[in-house]
A and B are shown apart, each in its own frame.
Chain A
Amino acid sequence: MILYILRRLVSVAVTFIVVSLIIFFMMHAIPGGPFDANDMPVSEAVRAKLMAQLGLDQPLHVQYFRYMWGVLHFDFGVPYQSPGETVVQLLSRAWVPSLVLGGLGVVIGAPLGILLGMAAALNCNSWIDYLASTLATLGLTIPVFVSSMLLILVFAVWLQWLPASGWGKPERWILPITAYALIPLATYARYTRSAMLDTLNRPFVTVLRAKGLSERRIVFEHVLRNSAIPLVTVFLPMFIGTATGSIFVEAMFRVPGLGAYFVSSIENRDYPLEMALMLMITFMYCIAYLLSDIVYALINPRIRVGGGQ
């Protein structure tokens, strides 16, 4: 197991380097640069001076190695769009609201989705199933900016129960977290329903029933555990989505989170921040899949690596 993890860590490092190369060179391959505005052009002399100040006059490979050397020392540079702080400082302040929003969204949405999916699977083809499936389908098909707008309209403008947008006070968190939670809720409801239906039809469930186990024990101890693999597969990546996936929710509800920086860093050619964000996402995905693999092994002995046979 340890050897397996070590091997995976090496592959994480390789992935990391390959991805950093691709991102870096793609980023610089897009025509234009941070000082190439259309309407009010900067004079050549001033532009050259600014580029030199930022080290952008160096050959690309030099820039790459410089940047990656910094990364090794946890120095991601200074974001062009916020020169008063480092990229690390920017990330650590902007990530907090995103984590609260996305984290609570997943933590609330996922269990509700699992319950909904279970209810649907256990009452297959009944009205409960239809209702749950309709809800889940709506949750997945209505764009989040539409559901956000509906929430604002109903709870802030018509009923005036909650503030329309903003962050800071916890009562301002309720609507955006609700809007965000709809996504994991719907996703989990769909996954849980199909995974459980699949398991419920397996022969071992019939055997358990024949042995006289109570339906509750069958569902919670055996069916759920055997249905958990697909749920684990989507869980951790969904958590990473809290960093990127909430761009719309953050914009609609004025949450000062990380989402907008993904767009603005590309728009403004903010190379250091763009690089840092992409590397961060890459790293998180690598780790998330590694953790998922370990969890698989824990919940399902059949795929435990190096064990058994």
Chain B
Amino acid sequence: MHILPKIVGALAVATALTLPASAQSTILAPGQSTTGTYMDYMKTVYDRATFAELLQVPIATFDKEFELTPMAAESWSQSEDGLTWTFKLRPGLVWSDGEPLTAEDYVFALQRAATSGYDFAWYWDFAGGIKGWKEVTEGTADVSTLGLKAVDDLTIEVTTVAPKPYLPSVTSLWYPVPKHKVDELGDDWAVNVDSIVSSGPFSIESWEKSNNSVVFTKSETYTGPWQAQIDRLEVDPSLGAPEVGLPAYLAGDADYSFLNTGQVPVAMAADPDGIRKNAVFATSYLSYDLESEPFNDVNVRRAFYYAIDREELTSTVLKDIAIPAGSILPPGYPGYNPDVVAQATFDPEKAKQFLADAGFPNGEGFPEIEIWIRDEGGYNGAIVPAMAQYLQAEFKDVLGVTVNIRQLPGADWMDGLRNKTNNIFIAPYEYDYLDPSNFYGIFYNGGRHGYFVPEYDALVAEADSESDWDTRYNLYAEAEQVMIDQGLIVPLVHPITTAVISDNLGGDAAKPNSLGFTPLDRLGHYFFTHLTKQ
């Protein structure tokens, strides 16, 4: 007699349990590294757990047009002398365990990075220029001398060694660390799901360490901008290799997948609407030892500048994976200057003339040279070796110069660059922070290449600390003109990555930006909070 109500009751409960579950939107995404140590970006960048940064709210971050958007900060201001920045935090932000998120958590994050961060400390000297940073990381000054101060719960003060007009963009990698958790558990707060707390748009549900896959859920405590529009986000780094990701995507086990070179034409033919391209902010360029033969002659360097047909290069051997580079700055990057780019033309006659002026008509008497390239993974792995072979043929053809290619492990290549044991290199560089000073800094006062070019250095130094954007822009353009006229480098190509995304995905993040590029998870905070799923 009582069976019926029981069945009805059970059915009601079952329905109640299953309905919300089926209404949930879950995104299945590839990740990057199948190993990760700490779920804490401020402890380690390279070895961090999958998308650790999504759990925390940065001071500011970029949208898909690369506009800087305040996140934890509500506003910021620069002092008269340009040396001190004041960031005002948004009131009401909390950690997922209910503790208030304060300025102290941000200051603590950097103090800890300076004294025991794994591979990140360097950034805050190089990009941030925070006062006392070098001394503290080198162990010669106490951490309290850093130019960082929590004035009150909602105010952070940052002092830099020189005016840094772009400091707010550097804060896109400044995440808080829960001081109350570190006080209690040390670094281990970030190794177990149970003790991990979040401050950003997502919370963590599980973390499978065997492949570093993580399940995130929409945070219930986050009150800041950019709230998640999906309920769950499952990230599996073993889908990160396109060889695994694409079949899984085709079989419905992933919502998008990155593509390798061979897969691009196939996917473009099969699903043209699902293709998304992204210009990684990176550049491959030729660099020289400016002091030794034959590249100590500016005419030789100019000859190489004009001897490269970038259009042919990127429409043949690098089809779909790179676009021509006429500047060290990639398109869309702040400071990108079309006038500079327009000068990088393929002009065999000019190239021959420059080489003849240097005393090598038709390449006669020019020594055999060896281009050093670095072992590369990722997008560079597809680009650099193929490009080196193309250049080898082209330099022979246009300049009559014999070029050999040598591929070295990263450390040996870098050693060759620093100690100038070779005279010509193909060097790839991907941006570290979104400001022209990043790319121009590579060649500034020694920098990555041991270049010391006074005219260039003076312009870059002036631009770096100039606060008016238009003036800076022009100064950087002048500096790049020096690079071109003196043939310091030859910009070659900018890499393009390609992905295919499911038509179930919607929202602003799934659509290309005004340049036609879709940065996808390269802008994690924007992407995963501006994505929807049907």
Chain A interfacial positions (CB closer than 8 Å to B)? 31-32, 35, 37-46, 48-50, 80-85, 90, 93-94, 97, 145, 149, 152-153, 156-157, 160, 163-166, 251-252, 254, 256-257, 260, 264, 268
Q: Is the CB of A83 within 8 A of B188?
A: yes
Given contacts A157-B247, A164-B248, 11 further A-B contacts (CB under 8 A): A40-B119, A41-B122, A44-B138, A45-B139, A48-B139, A94-B210, A145-B243, A152-B247, A156-B251, A160-B251, A260-B211
A-B contact pairs, 24 of them (CB 8 A): A32-B411, A37-B119, A38-B411, A40-B45, A41-B122, A42-B119, A46-B115, A48-B139, A83-B38, A83-B187, A83-B191, A84-B188, A85-B191, A157-B247, A160-B251, A164-B251, A166-B248, A166-B253, A252-B244, A254-B211, A254-B239, A254-B244, A256-B238, A260-B211
A46 in contact with B116 (CB, 8 Å):
yes
Q: How many A-B residue pairs have CB under 8 A?
A: 122
Please state if B250 and A157 are interface contacts (CB–CB under 8 Å): yes
Cβ-neighbour of A84 out of B137, B191, B251 (below 8 A): B191
Decide yes or no: A42 and B37 within 8 Å by CB, A49-B116, A82-B209, A165-B253 being known contacts.
no
Chain A residues with Cβ under 8 A from B241's Cβ?
251
Residue from the list A38, A46, A145 in contact with B117, Cβ < 8 A? A46
B122 A43 Cβ-Cβ under 8 A: yes
Collect the chain A residues with CB atoms within 8 Å of residue B211's CB.
254, 256, 260
Q: Which residue of A lies closest to B195 (CB)?
A: A84
For residue B47, which residues in chain A have a CB less than 8 angstroms away from its CB?
A: 81, 268
Q: How far is the CA of A164 from the CA of B192 in the complex (A)?
A: 30
Q: A260 and B34 in contact (CB under 8 A), knowing A50-B118, A164-B253?
A: yes
Contact mask B220-244 → A, CB, 8 Å, 1/0?
A: 0000000000000000101101011
Set of chain B residues within 8 Å of A268, measured between Cβ atoms: 35, 47
A151 and B34 CA atoms in complex are apart in Å by 23
Contact of A38 among B45, B248, B251, B410 (CB under 8 A): B410
Is B95 part of the contact surface with A, judged by Cβ < 8 Å?
A: no
- Chain A residues near B238 (CB-CB < 8 A): 165, 251, 254, 256
Instruction: Give the CA-CA distance A45 to B135 in the complex, in Å.
Output: 10
Whether, in the assembled complex, B161 has its beta carbon less than 8 Å from a beta carbon of chain A, the answer is: no
Tell me the minimal C-beta distance from B26 to chain A in angstroms: 14
Q: Which residue of B lies closest to A44 (CB)?
A: B138
Known: A37-B46, A45-B139, A163-B253. Is A264-B34 also a contact (CB below 8 A)? yes
Q: Are A85 and B209 in contact (CB under 8 A)?
A: yes
Kindly state whether residue B120 has any CB partner on chain A within 8 Å. Answer: yes
With contact pairs A32-B411, A46-B121 given, residues A163 and B251 touching in the complex (Cβ less than 8 Å): yes
Most chain B CB inside 10 Å of its own CB: which residue of A41, A160, A254 = A254
